[in-house]
Structure formats: C-alpha cells, structure tokens
Structure 1
C-alpha cells in the first residue's frame, strides 16, 4: 500500500476519529483493565453501526463531558500529533517520539472528531514523488473564477477544486454540527470562513487526489494571511491567476447570479459585505504574490473566451517549458478594483445598504486613511500575562499623549454595542472558537482611524499574538515603529497573577495561570524572532520594578522620537 493509499484509507474509514473517541474515554475513566474497557467500547461501535457513527464524546458520560484541560497550551492538532502511533511507516511522520502523558490536552465543547485535525500535522504531498502543479485562481466575487478555473482544468487535464463548494458541501453534510452551523452563519453574512478550517478542508481534498498532474484551486486565498498559511501548510503555488474586474461589473454579475442560482451566500447583505472584503484585501494580496513573481493579472471585464485565451498563454509559458511567452499583464491595475467614479460601493442600490454599513461598521466606513495610518507612530507592546503591559501603557499614555488600544477591550466594547458584528463575535466565542484575526484587525483599524487626528501615536497592547497577525497588520495598516517585549520569567508572571487573582473577585487557579503562560510562549516565540530580525524589537527586563521598567521603555521611545525629529528636520532643510 502506498503512502497516499494509506492516508486515504484512514480518512475514509474514520480511524483517527475512532481512536480519538477511545482515548477520550480512557483519559476520562482511567479503567483498571484498559483492554476490557476498549473491548466494550468496540462492541458499542458495532452496535452503533460503525466508526462513522462515533463522536469524540461517545464514550464519555454526560456528567463528565465538561473536562478541564490536563495541560493547556496545546491545540487540537497537537493532541492528534501526540497520540498517533510512533511508527516510521505511517505516512509523512514529522515527529520523532511521543511526549510524556502529562502533555495531553482534551478540549471540551469543541468538535474534535474531524479526521482533518490529524491531517494538519502531515505533509499533503508525498515528498518522494513529483508534486502536482498548483494554480490558484483569485478575484472578486463574480469575476468569473469558477468559469475560468474549469476551463483551465479541462484544457490541461488538471483536477478542479472549488473552495466555496468544499465548504458548502461540508455545511450541508454536517448540518447538526455546532461548529459548521456557526461557519454557515459566518459565510451567509459575507465574512470569510475561519482560515484554519478552510486550509484543513483543502488539505483533506488534496490528500484524496495524490496522483494528479495538476490542480486548479478556485477562490483561495482571499487575503494575505490565508496565502501565508497555504504556503506554510501545503506548498508555494506554481502560478496565481488574478481576474481583475471593475466594481460595477462585479455587482451586475452577482445580482444576476443571485437570481439564477439562489446560493445562500448571494443574499443582498452578504454580497455587499463580500465586495467590501474584496476591495480591502485584493491589493495587498496581489502585491504579496507579485513580490514572489507568482502572479499574472487579467482584465476580466472582457468576454470569457478572450480572457481564457490569455490565461492559456500564461499557463503554457509558466508551467510548460516549450511554450511561447504569455501575453497577460504582470502588474495590477488598481483602477479595476477601486474605480473612483464607480458607484459599486458608494451607491450599491440595495434597500438595506445604509443599515448594513452602520451595523457592521466595517472597513468601508473608515474611509481611505491608509497613508495616514502608515505614517503614524505605531508601537506594539507584547509580553506574557502578568508582565505589566497594561500598567506600562497607562503610564506611557500620560507621558507621551499616545492612544492605548487593547484588543481585549475593543472586543468587549464591540460586544456591548449590539451590532450585527457583535452577534457574530458572541456566537464564535460561545462555541469556544477564537475570534477571526480579520475581525480583530478590523476593530483595530477602526479605532485607529477614529483617533488619528487627536493622538501622537498608538500603543497596541498584547498584539500581535501570532506571526500571521503581524504580517497581516503590516499589509493592511502599516509597520510598527517599535516593538517592546516585556521579558519576564514564567515564575514571576505566575506569582504576580496569583497575587492579582487573590485580590480580585475572579479567581484563577495556578494550573489555569500556567496554561496561559505556556500558551503565550508558544505563540510569541516566532513573533519576537520576526521583529528581532527586522531590528524593531526592544527587549525590556520586566523582572524589575514598574518604575525601572518604565524608565527603560522611555529611553527607547525618547531615542526614537529624537531620531524622527532629526530626520524631519533634514527633510525640511
């Protein structure tokens, strides 16, 4: 059996799901005779009708379903990675040994049953075989991605994957699943589906077609963070086709498609929101691929056969050595996305347009302040829980006149606003899922735009938490001028948090505090390394007294402001 066949067999037979459920039962009950217990569980599986009927909590009684994490800081992917057999013949194993038992983590109130979560920790393509050629086709909603993708697949004998259809089929087949019900709601409002979920579905599909010569993926990625995630977890694409289409044409096509097909995500509100998201994300995404020399753009306002003729020339040139050079343009014509005279966004001809704008308070309502934001003094303050970020920011605001922004506070304020977006955030948080990075970034940008004229800079506390967030912020808003890392030992942070907890009404146990600190270290390490490499990082010893830490931070800010003033003086002379 080949590696691809082994993976396909495991996924099709729901074997990882079965193992997961059995392990959950074992970890919950810790039976004296585990063999006898497993035999009884397997008998129950037969009675239920097979492994596909088994859920993560099948062998957990109702009173035990809310389980505390045995050791936090690990994701669902880590759980599957840790419990799978240490067998060198298992396909594409990336890890050498199993960790100690105390590192297991079983999360409650989340859907851990998907085979996809296991697949995330394995290579998608067999490294011993040639990788299929990958073409990504991107563009606005209604730009003709599906039509052109199918034409490419048919001409070259490639396999076709529609990311939108993958998600819609999953939603339809798991309609009773809480997680996918939430994703259906997100898509129906015009927002992007969670990034990791989408990547996982793509990976699962790719693993089912290991022998293809080429694959055309329609409708992914939709922003820079998704592009980075695709490259990190799957591969760098061989070619990216961007279908540039005027706003007015997109609107016309979407309205026509809504009448003909009746797709749930083609409703009026979702259509407007999707166009807004596309307008915001398209230019950074195309520029990202342009820097890598991977993208060719095409004017998709033309007849579809004319567009495809140019695309086929580009594919011949890029992917097949003996073909003539392509005629497609390599530079993005931004006017095709942001037509100044186009009514596509300013007068959308929807009855609910005015209400939609205010209820979502999205990027469309912030205006174009891109240049002002990029020029502003942006300072990130990162550090673990209990490192003193909040206290230092309060003092810095008083001294320098900066605006202090905390993503936690912004989310709480949004939840209290009773807006359409707040309802979406509430649903996500109640399911135990993280708020999508795009929504957090949207809240940050709106808060920054609101304070642009009345501040000397922005102190952003506790952000970014992951490397993708850092890169997305730079792409959509701008680079931070300084990044302070309040460096503090786990022991000191834990001690401070325990003292704080004892003096407040909300008590956190030592185990909960430990989990939070471990989670911070795991996520922050690549972020800190990223800014250290860019020479923007200022590490500050946060073990000292708050007064000494403040003096150290002020020295770096004073030096930065002095250099800024000197540079400005030179320009003015």
Structure 2
C-alpha cells in the first residue's frame, strides 16, 4: 500500500447512505476555504477544495496539472472534460467512501454543464457564500502565496463566477435541493456565526446532524480512503 496520511475519522454503519455530500459555492474571496475548514473541524467532515487541488496538480507538474495549467494561471474555468478527469481521480473516491460522515466539496460545480457528469456526488445540501465584489477582491489581493492573485485574474474569475453561478443555483433549486445562502462579507468570526445560524434553520442540516448523533459512537484510525481501520482511538456519544 502506498504511504497515505493517517487521519482520525468516525466509524459509520455500512447500511446508512454515507457520506452526505455538501457543495459549497461562492466567488473567489468569499471565504469558502476558511469556513469549510471550520465546518470540517467542528463536525469531523472531509473538506475537498477543488481549487487547491488544481493548484497542487499544476505545481507538481503532473499530467493533469499540465493539461489545466493555462486555465488555472489565467483564472479561467477549466473545461468540463478536464473537470471530469479531476472528479474521477480526486473527488469520487471520497464521495463514495462511507467512512466519512460528510464531504464538503468547495468550489464545485463551477458551471451548470458540469453537473450531469457528477451524479455519483449528488449533494444533500448546497451552501452559497455571498460576498460583494469589493470585499472579495480586497481579500484575494491581500492573500500571500498565490502568484496569480492579481487584479486582472480576480476580475476574470469573478466575472465568470457571476455569469455561471446563477444557472448552477437554479439547477439545484429546481432539482429540489436546499440552497442555504450565507452573507460572508464580514470578519471571519461574524461570517462563521451567520453560517451556523443559517444551518440551524435548515431542516436538511438538522436531519444530517440527527443521523450523525445516532451513528457516531466510535472514532477509528484510518489510512485513507483505501486503508483499513488501524485502532480504536476513543469513544464518543455526541458531536
């Protein structure tokens, strides 16, 4: 077995439909990564950032990374055929791995035409983080470590997001999915409290938490997602 990062994850019953899939949508700079990390820590979810994975593939000079390099560096949407390859290689294994209670897929789908290709990751709920362009831009341009965080790239990415996101939201709403919209224009703590408040009003979210509370009784060390349980670490009766 190849070396893999060992993680502490909940042991879930095989007969229940896990993991729940949560799509997280929002413009660049809307706080998706930060707030998803907080949700992942609080509820022991897995957080998958499609944007981070794209950048990692580009930096690694992998075949997949080289095929999407020009789109990532220019701040353009990656074509659907490349996104499907990314889904199969990077997202699908976790979306079908029933030892995770839920998977937060951050920054996907980016256009309506991508959705039919990814029925294996049908979302239980969709989160939409809404942030004005000026604040999102300020955040992006103040980030450290991304060479393509420039005004021109941000403007292109934001324009593409606005053009495509309405169709994505309408698709999920027409399919009967609950879309939870959260104002994330404030400081991180304020946005976090608004997110928790919005989720507390969601019947779908409450259904998910009820399922977790009934099932998450044991935490097991996994090497994953292919690895087997290594050892029981602790017992827990509530989140």
Please confirm whether the aligned pair reaches a TM-score higher than 0.5, indicating the same fold.
yes
For 1:313 and 1:275, how far apart are their aligned partners in 2? Answer: 27
Q: 1:269 aligns with which of 135, 152, 171?
A: 152
For 2:15 and 2:208, how far apart are their aligned partners in 1? Answer: 26
Match of 2:46 in 1: 159
Shift of 1:313: 4.1
For 1:183 and 1:305, how far apart are their aligned partners in 2? Answer: 34
Shift of 1:137: 1.0
**Structure 1 residues 266 and 297: CA distance shift in structure 2, 3 A:** same
**Structure 1 residues 321 and 181: CA distance shift in structure 2, 3 A:** closer
Q: Map 1:249-328 to 2 at 5 A.
A: 249-257=135-143, 260-261=144-145, 263-291=146-174, 292-316=176-200, 317=202, 318-321=204-207
Shift of 1:243: 0.7
Shift of 1:311: 2.3
Match of 1:571 in 2: none
Deviations 1:33-59 (A, max 9, x none): xxxxxxxxxxxxxxxxxxxxxxxxxxx
Worse overlay, 207-216 or 144-153: 207-216
**Structure 1 residues 305 and 228: CA distance shift in structure 2, 3 A:** farther
Match of 1:133 in 2: 20
Greater RCO between the two (CA within 8 Å, min separation 6)? Answer: 2
Match of 1:204 in 2: 89
State the SS of the aligned residue for 1:217: strand
Q: 2:69 aligns with which of 173, 180, 184?
A: 184
Match of 1:227 in 2: 115
Match of 2:232 in 1: none
State the SS of the aligned residue for 2:58: helix
State the SS of the aligned residue for 1:265: coil
- Whether the 8 Å CA contact 1:237–1:294 is kept in 2: the answer is no
**Structure 1 residues 241 and 185: CA distance shift in structure 2, 3 A:** same
For 2:40 and 2:56, how far apart are their aligned partners in 1? Answer: 21
Q: Map 1:109-120 to 2 at 5 A.
A: none
Deviations 1:50-85 (A, max 9, x none): xxxxxxxxxxxxxxxxxxxxxxxxxxxxxxxxxxxx
Q: Structure 1 or 2: larger helix share?
A: 1
Larger radius of gyration between Structure 1 and Structure 2:
1
Shift of 1:129: 5.9
Q: Map 1:318-357 to 2 at 5 A.
A: 318-321=204-207
State the SS of the aligned residue for 1:165: helix
Deviations 1:135-168 (A, max 9, x none): 1111110010101111111111001111111112
For 2:168 and 2:93, how far apart are their aligned partners in 1? Answer: 28
For 2:111 and 2:51, how far apart are their aligned partners in 1? Answer: 15
Question: RMSD value over aligned CA atoms?
Answer: 2.7
Shift of 1:298: 1.1
**Structure 1 residues 323 and 160: CA distance shift in structure 2, 3 A:** closer
Shift of 1:307: 2.3
For 1:306 and 1:214, how far apart are their aligned partners in 2? Answer: 24
State the SS of the aligned residue for 1:138: strand
Shift of 1:314: 4.2
| 1:242 is aligned to 2:128 | yes
Deviations 1:361-385 (A, max 9, x none): xxxxxxxxxxxxxxxxxxxxxxxxx
Matched pairs, number: 194
Shift of 1:323: 7.0
Q: Structure 1 or 2: larger strand share?
A: 2
What is the TM-score normalised by the length of structure 2? 0.71
For 1:205 and 1:217, how far apart are their aligned partners in 2? Answer: 11
For 1:274 and 1:313, how far apart are their aligned partners in 2? Answer: 29
What is the TM-score normalised by the length of structure 1? 0.31
For 2:88 and 2:188, how far apart are their aligned partners in 1? Answer: 30
| 1:213 is aligned to 2:97 | no
Shift of 1:208: 4.6
